[in-house]
Structure 1
Amino acid sequence: MLDDYFRQYGLIAIFLVVAVGVPISMLAMSSMAARIGLRPNKPTDVKSETYECGVEAIGGRWELFNFRYYMFAILFVIFDVEVVFLYPWAAKFLQLPLFALIEMAVFVGILVVGLAYAWRKHDLEWG
């Protein structure tokens, strides 16, 4: 019993050692390759500029972005997760009992209430 307990935690310990060891060893090998000259190191101003989809950056690196982007991102994530739950339910809709329909109606209802709240607070308006 105790042997099985330690074996399970041994697997977790091995996983953690590999998960930490592999990235550290890769960084160490990259650093050693740069020191002995296997990897070129020629820093320039162009290489250290901010790159965004092939378009030259306008402004500095630490520009603040509008908070409205954050609100739209949060709302997108919330409703995207809703769709993840709706797809399997819709695929098995005809085989599910009536209680599953009621559960999904409550779930969608809660999300609609959240959407109505965001709409009422004018979080969906850009201007």
Structure 2
Amino acid sequence: MSEIAVEYLPILLFLVVGIVFALIFVGAPILVSGLTGTAKPDSVKLSEYESGFPAFSDSRHRFDVRFYLVAILFIIFDLEAAFLFPWAVSLHWGGPEAWWSMMMFLFILTIGLAYEWKSGALEWE
């Protein structure tokens, strides 16, 4: 073997191992799913879930805007929780500026929640 081939041997080995693992992690679930029968559709598997609308209907089908409002509310308050935990852990380093900035952030979110509540987005029929 030449000296250049010996230098590239670890890269080639890494590539071969990566391809083998990729084939295992992609091929094995497909094979297991085919053997266990999860790939065989029936009426229950093809029924609608989550949104309550048929899964394979026209893409221009109208549906209620409340789904969007609930999704937006979830994102808003999920982000609030994501910002609130690190802020609470590091509050002693930020001082009063950090406290007031978070109070302003929470105030804006409270205004958004009050608006959504007042507009009836939280009421479901």
Relative to the length of structure 1, the TM-score reads 0.52
* Residue number among 82, 86, 89 corresponding to 1:88 in the alignment: 86
2:69 matched residue in structure 1: 71
Residues 103 and 50 from structure 1, CA distance in 2 versus in 1: closer, same or farther, beyond 3 angstroms? farther
User: Is residue 71–residue 123 contact of structure 1 (8 Å, CA) maintained in 2?
Assistant: yes
Residue 106, structure 1, aligned to residue 101, structure 2: no
Residues 60 and 74 from structure 1, CA distance in 2 versus in 1: closer, same or farther, beyond 3 angstroms? closer
User: Is residue 50–residue 61 contact of structure 1 (8 Å, CA) maintained in 2?
Assistant: no
Residues 48 and 122 from structure 1, CA distance in 2 versus in 1: closer, same or farther, beyond 3 angstroms? same
Whichever residue aligns with residue 61 of structure 1, its letter is F
Root mean square deviation of aligned Cα: 2.8
Q: Which runs of 5+ in 2 are unaligned?
A: 1-38, 49-53
Partner Cα separation in structure 2 for residue 87 and residue 98 of structure 1: 17
Superposed counterparts of 1:2-81, under 5 Å:
55-57=45-47, 59=54, 61-62=56-57, 64=61, 65-81=63-79
Residues 60 and 89 from structure 1, CA distance in 2 versus in 1: closer, same or farther, beyond 3 angstroms? closer
Deviation at 1:124, TM superposition (A): 0.7
Deviation at 1:56, TM superposition (A): 3.5
Partner Cα separation in structure 2 for residue 96 and residue 60 of structure 1: 49
Deviation at 1:123, TM superposition (A): 0.7
Residues 60 and 78 from structure 1, CA distance in 2 versus in 1: closer, same or farther, beyond 3 angstroms? closer
Q: What is the aligned residue count?
A: 79
Share of identical aligned residues, percent?
37
Q: Which runs of 5+ in 1 are unaligned?
A: 1-46
Relative to the length of structure 2, the TM-score reads 0.53
Tell which deviates more after alignment, 109-118 or 54-63: 54-63
Whichever residue aligns with residue 114 of structure 1, its letter is G
Partner Cα separation in structure 1 for residue 74 and residue 114 of structure 2: 14
Partner Cα separation in structure 2 for residue 61 and residue 110 of structure 1: 39
